[in-house]
A = this chain, B = another copy of it.
Amino acid sequence: MRADAKKNYEQLLAVARHVVTEQGADASLRDVARKAGVGLGTLYRHFPTREALLEALLRTKFDESAQRASELETWDNAGNALVTWLREAIAMTHTYRGAIAPMVAAIVDEGSALHASCVSLRAAGTRLLVRAQADGVARGDMDGNDLFALISALAWLADQPPLVPRADHLFHVISSAILTDRQEPAIP
């Protein structure tokens, strides 16, 4: 990449991070280019779609989440590990307001710039879920797609101002539903 191109790329990313933090994932791309002091075509050259820009903004977050999953797989308590990862994954997906809808769309759109990241997020969740199921601490009738859908729904909920006060409590209700207490058998 030529030096001037690289400079524009970095500048666009920095400005986009700021604008998207303020206005959400559906912020005006024109506005981003304007504030970056760059022509509109330059933005489209570096980020051909809105998803590509969002992916660049979220890349580090996705990577952190994947690495975190690896750590959590070493925990003794597979149930705690799963719930802890869920909580953090939900927090990650609403780093930027309005990011969850494009992520959900990307999971089935192989052409989307967000596709690979979302697939590996789902894969990380699946590993933690399967381990918890093997330990008998998570209900058996769920898979990684269910988990991805629940993360999405809870992240969306936390994005709606009127529902924010309920988000924590409902996370608790739902994670309780996922976890199964391993009951000691009653005295026979």
Interface set of A (CB-CB < 8 Å, partner B):
101, 104-105, 107-108, 139, 141-142, 145-146, 149-150, 152-154, 156-157, 160-163, 165-167, 169-170, 173-174, 176-178, 186
Report B-chain residues with C-beta under 8 Å of the C-beta of A101: 160
| Copies per assembly | 2
Q: Which residue of B lies closest to A162 (CB)?
A: B108
Report B-chain residues with C-beta under 8 Å of the C-beta of A170: 146, 149-150, 153
11 contacts between A and B (CB under 8 A): A101-B160, A142-B169, A146-B170, A152-B157, A152-B160, A152-B163, A153-B156, A153-B157, A173-B177, A173-B178, A176-B177
Q: Please, how many angstroms separate the alpha-carbon atoms of A75 and B123 in the complex?
A: 43
Partner of A186, one of B104, B107, B165, B186: B186
Q: Which residue of B lies closest to A169 (CB)?
A: B146
- A-B pairs, 5 with minimum CB distance: A177-B177, A108-B162, A153-B153, A149-B166, A149-B163
CB distance from A92 to the nearest CB of B (A): 18
Is the CB–CB distance between B162 and A107 below 8 Å?
A: yes
Q: Which one of A162, A165, A173 has the highest number of Cβ atoms from chain B below 10 Å of its Cβ?
A: A162
CB distance from A140 to the nearest CB of B (A): 12
Report B-chain residues with C-beta under 8 Å of the C-beta of A186: 186
CB distance from A73 to the nearest CB of B (A): 24
Since A105-B162, A139-B173 are in contact, a sample of 12 more A-B pairs with Cβ atoms closer than 8 Å, ordered by chain A residue number, is: A105-B161, A145-B166, A146-B166, A146-B173, A149-B163, A152-B157, A153-B153, A153-B157, A173-B174, A174-B174, A174-B177, A176-B177
